[in-house]
Structure 1
Amino acid sequence: MRLINLFKSLKLTSQVQIVRFSSEYVPKPLRSLKAKSTRNTVQFYVDSFRVRTVGGSGGDGCISFLSAWCKDHAGPDGGDGGNGGHVIFQATYSSKSLNHVKSVMQAKHGERGFNKECNGKNAQHVVVPVPIGTIVRDSKGQVVADLNAEGVMFVAARGGAGGRGNKFFLTDTEQAPSVAELGAVGETNVYNLEVRSMAHIGLIGFPNAGKSTLLRALTRARPTVAPYPFTTLRPHIGMVQFDDYVQVAIADLPGLIPGSHKNYGLGIQFLQHAERCHGLIYLLDGTADPLHQYRTLTHELQAYSPSLAQRRGVVVVNKVDEEVAKQACREVGGRLQAIGISARTGENLPQLLRALRDLYDAGDS
């Protein structure tokens, strides 16, 4: 009885929180507690490459006759040659660039056939890992493969078949054939590889608009940040994790300038990375006429690809921690539905994350 009264007198609070699921549930981004790396490693990024693929030739068939005791005419026993190896492109998450691809990728040849009906060994295939989202074009510029998922493969050059030995040509009328086949020559093809990033959201903006700073603030990516134009020379991708186990990939693309569709500045070589994005974030510098920047960006996208310009997007005015940018954000808000943020101080980033998730859900549906 004393123990029962003791437990009744204690007020125990439970640490378990009951989560109620309803239609008004809003996913929230998860913030990692682990410190970010401060090391900036130099990486050579290659997103376009011309490669020549050569398949292995097949092994020659063997001309041989069986030597048996007390049997002079035992018949032919030449084996077949082995098949040559293929050259295969395979999409994988472990590869992020084409810097490991050689200008000539050649598979090995198959072994020749042997006596006693022993066939030659088939050559192993050469599997070249490429990033997911790689486009393969032939020498005429036609798209022949789109490696847009993990494990998707494309046979770039087939190996030749092995030649048949003289055992294959044994017939009722020809008991001692002295003929065999040569191995077939492997294919030789030339392809152009293009990497298009498989990000859900793409950051579009002028140089020094704060795209890299924003990606650092939202994700654990570590793009270089510096006060000079074209700091970002290659796309960087960061992941935003939400508490409903959804991960949204954001791509920081190099800055655009007037005339980018004519190959000015860094040109159109990086606009191809935005073609696969579900939506775009137009990041405007609030200290340098954001309305003019928005018109220029939409014009460049329209000139490059009309379908890309019509993609869903969110207009974001950066650097509102400065008074000039705040005033510019109010002016932009009168004409466009824009979100004012400060990537440096973190102001209004939760509102941007909510808009980013809505943009992802709309594109995913």
Structure 2
Amino acid sequence: MLFFTGRSVLARAFVEISKNVATKGGPRVNYCKATTALRPKKPKSTRKEAQYFSDAKRVRAVGGKGGDGCVSFLQLWCNERAGPDGGDGGNGGHVVFQASNDVRNFNHVGSVLRAEEGERGNAKDCHGKNAKHAVIKVPIGTIIRNAQGLIVGDLGHADLMFVAARGGAGGKGNRFFTTDKETSPKVCEYGPTGEDISYTIELRSMADVGLIGYPNAGKSTLLNALTRAKPKVAPYAFTTLRPHLGTVQYDDLVQITIADLPGLVPDAHLNKGLGIQFLKHAERCTLLLFVLDASAPEPWTHYEQLMHELRQFGGSLASRPQLVVANKIDMEDSAANFEELQRRLQNPVLGISAKMGQNLGQLLSSIRLGFDRHKAQERSTR
């Protein structure tokens, strides 16, 4: 069904473009490379609670306690003093992070991660059972920082593991302490506690496209129109406090993730508003999509302020590939602002209306073009 839908959409696009080329005498196009975003195959969920995207979290990893050793003496019917037979305790479990394709964020990761304790030893030289390790699946590309902020783990490949906290070793029973001189020891070891370490886990890359703009610029409405995501939409500033992610699927089975990031305000690099947290979200996106409110007075100043914040944050954030769209062109006074915006900005500006669905198909084509261009540059630099 998916392949048939893609072919039908591509066929209609082929007929329309062929007519334009025949009438205008334009250059010939390779239609085999044309791609079109598919419509969602099922309606959005009706659940009320919003599902946000967690790309960074501070966690505490606690290894399991080792099992205690046992003090016991064997008594047989023929020998009431057969000697010590206390077994050792089992080892405590480790807390392990494992890179996996099964998860995409840290919503399932708790703030405190504890491993199981080892079982205590028993009589008749029975050793306690070793505890199972607590394996926490994290997305591929997870970076693990210690309390000082230093990177101690980089899970860049599938099934790569990082031991966050080691469990305690099992305590020795009194059989272990038997010697030639001390044949009946009455001592054993308690199982030590496991490691207790705090970490900060971060995603190296959270989305292919990140929506950047002032509060109430229409970013959540745009994500709602392009994907099946359900970010909160309301006519007031700072509606989005945490990132939301949606996926766009094209007819050649390529999927592009789009992130709705919290709104940026002036002096964000000084941690004003959501500040540094917002800029860290943007740093984990490959392509930046600037969403400007065309109905606002002088929207070109918004773009200049956004670029200023990205430059002040440092790194390569300001030099990332970017697209610029002017939202809300269906409102009054937007036409004049849109023309002035096109004249002032060096980058091409696309006028859209996320609420009315105007020019969204052209926007998806531009996103795919920028995505393919970035992938081609990555392959050439390898």
TM-score surpassing 0.5? yes
After superposition, give the CA deviation of every residue in 1:120-164 in whole Å (9 maximum; x if it has no partner). 012233345556665432221222234567665433211011133
**Residues 106 and 220 (structure 1), Cα distance of their counterparts in 2 relative to 1, 3 Å cut:** closer
**More displaced 10-residue stretch of structure 1: 246-255 or 338-347:** 338-347
After superposition, give the CA deviation of every residue in 1:261-301 in whole Å (9 maximum; x if it has no partner). 11112222122222221111011111222321111111111
Contact 2:71 2:85 in 1 (8 A): yes
Q: Distance in 1 between matches of 2:104 and 2:250?
A: 25
Aligned-pair CA distance for 1:259: 0.7
Aligned-pair CA distance for 1:75: 5.2
Q: Kindly provide the amino acid, as one letter, of the partner of residue 304 in structure 2.
A: R
For 1:278, the equivalent position in structure 2 comes to: 286
Q: Distance in 1 between matches of 2:59 and 2:347?
A: 46
Q: Distance in 1 between matches of 2:361 and 2:228?
A: 16
Instruction: State whether structure 2 residue 355 is matched by structure 1 residue 348.
Output: no
For 1:186, the equivalent position in structure 2 comes to: 194
Q: Which has the higher helix share?
A: 2
Structure 1 residues 317-356: aligned runs within 5 Å: 317-322=326-331, 324-334=333-343, 335-356=346-367
Contact 2:264 2:274 in 1 (8 A): yes
Structure 1 residues 53-72: aligned runs within 5 Å: 53-70=61-78
TM-score, normalised to structure 1, is 0.82
Instruction: State whether structure 2 residue 183 is matched by structure 1 residue 176.
Output: yes
Q: Kindly provide the amino acid, as one letter, of the partner of residue 138 in structure 1.
A: N
Q: Distance in 1 between matches of 2:54 and 2:228?
A: 22
Q: Kindly provide the amino acid, as one letter, of the partner of residue 355 in structure 2.
A: R
For 2:23, the equivalent position in structure 1 comes to: none
**Residues 311 and 108 (structure 1), Cα distance of their counterparts in 2 relative to 1, 3 Å cut:** same
2:96 to 88, 101, 104: 88
SS at match of 1:184: coil
Q: Distance in 1 between matches of 2:69 and 2:291?
A: 65
Aligned-pair CA distance for 1:242: 0.4
TM-score, normalised to structure 2, is 0.78
SS at match of 1:269: helix
Q: Distance in 1 between matches of 2:205 and 2:254?
A: 19
1:122 to 101, 115, 130: 130
Q: Distance in 2 between matches of 1:56 and 1:306?
A: 40
Instruction: State whether structure 2 residue 300 is matched by structure 1 residue 291.
Output: yes
Aligned-pair CA distance for 1:357: 0.6
Which protein shows a greater Rg? 1
Quote the sequence identity (%): 54
Contact 1:95 1:129 in 2 (8 A): no
For 1:164, the equivalent position in structure 2 comes to: 172
Contact 2:205 2:286 in 1 (8 A): no
Structure 1 residues 78-157: aligned runs within 5 Å: 78-90=86-98, 93=102, 96-98=105-107, 101-102=110-111, 104-128=112-136, 135-146=143-154, 153-157=161-165
For 2:226, the equivalent position in structure 1 comes to: 218
**Residues 48 and 190 (structure 1), Cα distance of their counterparts in 2 relative to 1, 3 Å cut:** same
Aligned-pair CA distance for 1:59: 1.8
After superposition, give the CA deviation of every residue in 1:56-83 in whole Å (9 maximum; x if it has no partner). 2212333444444545775553322100
Q: Kindly provide the amino acid, as one letter, of the partner of residue 101 in structure 1.
A: G
Q: Distance in 1 between matches of 2:55 and 2:349?
A: 32
For 2:244, the equivalent position in structure 1 comes to: 236
Aligned-pair CA distance for 1:203: 0.4
Aligned-pair CA distance for 1:194: 4.5
Contact 1:110 1:122 in 2 (8 A): yes
Q: Distance in 2 between matches of 1:42 and 1:24?
A: 39
Q: Kindly provide the amino acid, as one letter, of the partner of residue 322 in structure 1.
A: M
Q: Kindly provide the amino acid, as one letter, of the partner of residue 326 in structure 1.
A: A
For 2:324, the equivalent position in structure 1 comes to: 315
Aligned-pair CA distance for 1:336: 2.4
**Unaligned 5+ runs, structure 2:** 1-6, 15-29
**Residues 119 and 99 (structure 1), Cα distance of their counterparts in 2 relative to 1, 3 Å cut:** closer
**Residues 310 and 95 (structure 1), Cα distance of their counterparts in 2 relative to 1, 3 Å cut:** closer
Aligned-pair CA distance for 1:302: 1.3
Q: Distance in 1 between matches of 2:277 and 2:203?
A: 10
**Residues 45 and 99 (structure 1), Cα distance of their counterparts in 2 relative to 1, 3 Å cut:** farther
Q: Distance in 2 between matches of 1:44 and 1:28?
A: 27
Q: Distance in 1 between matches of 2:241 and 2:278?
A: 9
**Count of matched residue pairs:** 347
Structure 1 residues 235-274: aligned runs within 5 Å: 235-274=243-282
Cα RMSD after superposing both structures: 3.3
After superposition, give the CA deviation of every residue in 1:64-103 in whole Å (9 maximum; x if it has no partner). 444445457755533221001223345665575558624x
Q: Distance in 1 between matches of 2:193 and 2:254?
A: 49
Contact 2:50 2:230 in 1 (8 A): no
SS at match of 2:370: helix
Q: Distance in 1 between matches of 2:326 and 2:200?
A: 38
For 1:12, the equivalent position in structure 2 comes to: none
**Unaligned 5+ runs, structure 1:** 1-15
SS at match of 1:270: helix
